[in-house]
Structure 1
């Protein structure tokens, strides 16, 4: 199926091979989180994304090579990342492998507290710090680029009844495309849907997803993630050729 996106370009909507990575600590150590995600955030995402027809596998921190061997990454079109407590436990080797695959064209979707993950900070080149407040109040997410494929089927905005607040300044490079912004009752706003390109790979940061709230059961959140999978996993153009080269004939 060929999709036409807002800037006039089109891409084939293929069956994406998706790896959902979750550190899987909160759900095993915090009864409040376990009550919301008894099988883990990664399992909830698999269940919620099943209707979209992706080929999905999960990976967690405690697996050999942290679930992210070269073989796994080579078989992954899109990597979805959720982490919070164990950013410093991700090895240099894993970060190097993921970065290399992104530069080669693998899509990366970073969720919520993954903003502080080693791979996201590596790719952004900044601290990726922000303000936060865990008060569980309402979040309203506004679509600010209705032409973007990631916003397909969302409408002008949607709301989450309970979420953690993230506020500006968000120390990331200016997004190449800003897709969503959030508003919170404390008056804060936040760049909640940010697109970047690194090498041949597309990256999408999506803000919602605090572990204590049932965010990953929300149909709009799942739709954004599904749209993002199709988008960041789509064809990325022609691979460049580097090194010494002969002059072309005039």
Structure 2
């Protein structure tokens, strides 16, 4: 069974009534419930727990880490970021959601500012599947809509993605690369745009399907991890010159 850990700041839900009404137990709990229905073993971790809930044992047992952050990126301890980065390089999958684009871990792995344009308004978002053959697109229609979302617009300062899976269009006319993949070391990374805290986005079936598909994709078994360092002489491994 795939072991998933959903990490969430869990700050908006405590401080903003409108967010608490939508996610009374936190965004992490909504995602935990929605993804458990797909057969995953889903745990949670939050910013204010010791080590932000990401202890060595938790990270070691996590196949895929899902990250949602917004108002407290700077409060994430750099030592925890370094541990998460190392686990990704070792093969742990990472799914970064919405405003997690500006998290320390995503920026560290991307090596860019990860800046973008945004507009908080009740706008329709139409998400187009532009690579329908990809496993993350499995079981989805060619497009789906969210009646209310925050707008994200280009330019999105990320490296050219290895694969572009989804593109968003907004009522204001903007478009956005809203579903992109990367590999770092032996780990797979997926960034998925929707999920502003004042909208019930993480209850939407198509949104959960994208995330669940991404979990399976990110957790797929990789090839053997490479060996680095000083190579043994040919004679020592039985090779004759």
When the two structures are superposed, what TM-score results if normalisation uses the length of structure 1? 0.93
Given the alignment of the two structures, is residue 34 of structure 1 paired with residue 23 of structure 2, yes or no?
Answer: no
Say which SS state the counterpart of residue 119 (structure 1) adopts: helix
Alpha-carbon distance in structure 2 between the residues aligned to 1:80 and 1:138: 25
SS of the aligned residue for 2:157 comes to coil
Structure 2 residue corresponding to 1:128, chosen from 114, 132, 145: 114
1:220 aligns with 2:206: yes
Of stretches 112-121 and 234-243 in structure 1, the one that deviates more from structure 2 is 234-243
- Determine which of 122, 136, 161 is the counterpart of 1:150: 136
Counterpart position of 1:87: 73
Following superposition, the deviation at residue 246 of structure 1 comes to: 2.7
Q: Once the two structures are superposed, what CA deviation does each residue of 1:182-207 show, in whole Å capped at 9, x if it has no partner?
A: 00011100000000000000000000
- Given the alignment of the two structures, is residue 235 of structure 1 paired with residue 210 of structure 2, yes or no? no
Say what the alpha-carbon RMSD is for the aligned residues: 0.8
Q: How many angstroms does 1:247 deviate by?
A: 4.5
Match of 1:56 among 42, 54, 62: 42
Once the 2 structures are TM-superposed, how far is the Cα of residue 155 of structure 1 from its aligned partner? 1.3
Secondary structure at the aligned position of 1:52 is classed as coil
User: Please, which runs of 5 or more residues in structure 2 have no aligned partner?
Assistant: none
Which moves more between the two structures, 115-124 or 45-54? 45-54
Aligned residues: 236
Structure having the higher Rg: 2
Which deviations, in whole Å up to 9, do the C-alpha atoms of 1:127-160 show, x marking residues without a partner? 0000000012100000010110000011101000
TM-score (normalised: structure 2): 0.97
Structure 1 residue 237: deviation in Å? 1.1
- Give the corresponding residue for 1:111: 97
| 1:72 Cα offset (Å) | 0.7
State the 4+ residue runs in structure 1 displaced beyond 3 angstroms: none
